[in-house]
Amino acid sequence: MKQNDLNELMSKVPQVTLLFWITKIFATTFGETAGDAVSMSMNLGYLLSTFIFAFVFIAFVFFQIRAKSYHPYLYWFTIIASTTVGTTLADFVDRSLGIGYLGGSTLLLSLVLLSLYSWYKVEGSISPHIQQPRAELFYWITITFSQTLGTALGDWSSDTAGLGYTGGIMLYVVLLLIVIGLYLFTKTSRVILFWTAFVLTRPLGAVVGDFLDKPIDHGGLALSRFAASAVLMVAILLCIFIANRMNGQKRLESKMS
């Protein structure tokens, strides 16, 4: 077995496949609709909602780090918790603190880069195939900043940059296609491409989430945030189920070969 295959097998996170990215986009879109449902529809405000989601996220991270192996539902619910806290935290930074979408995006991008740099200096790697608790702590810190950054970027592109929801979706789809092209046709670092795609899928989810639930006169579809969140959750659970079945089949074939 190759060393890369062994690292992925021992990793506490899922293998990076097409289904991984589909699930990630569903999760980030859910984070936008669910975060807005609590902070706006339930009128709890950005700060209180951030505290609520942060408590849930920290609890999931605690159990995720304590786990000895990859548990798909634990992992993905930790991702979901990070997207919801990222949504309300970004809205609080951008709107309540009054620094705007561009200011918030710049601040959060700096935090993502600082987190990755610190992780590399301490561990010597920023590989997503994490195995040790210290590396996993850096992993989740980076993810939290990237999810928050993604919300700010999504709001900036659709509102401040004037692209609207359709234009914002097209922008991030094109950027992700460029990343795919670099992956397929160049030798660009796979780790750098992973984190680039990880960041870009968040604003894509944010814009799609806003497109689903914002009023029609604002360019959205005016769907219920709660209904949209429920449908997205079903899609996420279906993706996790399919991935588990596929992984189980691969393990069975490996034992038989």
Could you state, in order of their start, the residue ranges of all structural domains in the chain? 3-149+225-256
Does the pTM exceed 0.85?
A: yes
Question: Among 170-174, 219-223, 250-254, which stretch is predicted with the lowest mean pLDDT?
Answer: 250-254
Give residue 124's region: left, alpha or beta (phi > 0; psi -120 to 50): left
Instruction: Say how far apart CA 11 and CA 207 lie, in whole Å.
Output: 31
Q: Average pLDDT over the chain, rounded to whole?
A: 86
Identity (one letter) of the amino acid at 130? I
Question: How many CB atoms are located within 10 Å of the residue 178 CB?
Answer: 12
**pLDDT of 2-22, one tens digit each?**
444 444 445 688 888 999 999
- Rounded to whole angstroms, the Cα distance separating 257 from 244 reads 20
Name every residue whose Cβ is closer than 8 Å to that of residue 228 and which is 6 or more positions away in sequence: 33, 209, 212, 213
Q: What is the pLDDT of residue 7?
A: 46
Residue 59 pLDDT exceeds 90: yes
For 119-132, what is each residue's pLDDT tens digit? 999 999 999 888 78
Tokens of 121: 């200096």
